[in-house]
Amino acid sequence: MSRAVLSIGSNMGDPLAHLQSVVDALGERAVAVSSVYATAPWGGVEQQNFLNATVIAQDPELDCWGWLRLGRRLEAEADRVREQRWGPRSLDVDVVDCDGVVSSDPELTLPHPRAHERAFVLAPWLEVDPDAALVVDGVVTSARALLERLDPAERDGVRRTDLRLAPR
């Protein structure tokens, strides 16, 4: 059974609908879905806030590359355009972790190379998996410890909302 942790985000068009489209596409493969979080943009590009969530998904027929291809297909279906690094986007689907695999492939780096620096990844993930952990610099570290290491302003920029994503 292949298990992936997907971080999803949107700040263009109807962000909640874009996030819901991921949950809808995953269907029964989505085994846990976090609350929706409002998040200040990351990376210094002027833009509106994001909505973010984490989905834990399982599928015996997908490997890590399969999860990446699925995420890219969902981004394309949401008319994702890659024009500006850390810029606004209709949908972002990042494979944060896949079966604990460590990969330095430039196309599929696992775990996600900046997940440990981003409260908008760690906070929703911890909501659905309190025992979450990442390999950082060759060391398995709890996501909770990684979140606590972040600057308080980074953590405070991630706010849980009353919005929910629901399987249909």
What is the structure's pLDDT at 27? 96
- The 10s digit of each residue's pLDDT in 64-106 is 999 999 999 999 998 766 665 666 788 999 999 999 988 888 8
Decide: 93 and 6 in contact? Cβ < 8 Å.
yes
- Asked if the model's pLDDT at residue 130 lies above 80, the reply is yes
- Asked if the model's pLDDT at residue 8 lies above 70, the reply is yes
Sequence letter at residue 102: V
Task: Provide the residue ranges of all domains of the chain, joining segments of one domain with +.
Answer: 2-112
DSSP, collapsed to helix, strand or coil, labels residue 139 as strand
Decide: 38 and 97 in contact? Cβ < 8 Å.
no
Task: Tell me how far apart the alpha carbons of residues 4 and 58 are, in angstroms, rounded to a whole number.
Answer: 6
- The 10s digit of each residue's pLDDT in 44-72 is 667 789 999 999 999 999 999 999 999 99
Q: Which two tokens stand for residue 148?
A: 């606590």
What is the structure's pLDDT at 98? 95
What is the structure's pLDDT at 42? 67
Residue 157: name the closest of 9, 50, 55 by CA.
Answer: 50
Q: What are the angstrom distances between the C-alpha of 6 and each of 46, 47, 50, 79? A: 25, 23, 16, 19
Query: 2-112 adopts what CATH topology?
Result: Alpha-Beta Plaits (3.30.70)
Per-chain mean pLDDT for the chain = 91
Residues assigned a catalytic role: 80, 89, 92, 94
C-beta neighbour count of 76 within 10 angstroms: 12
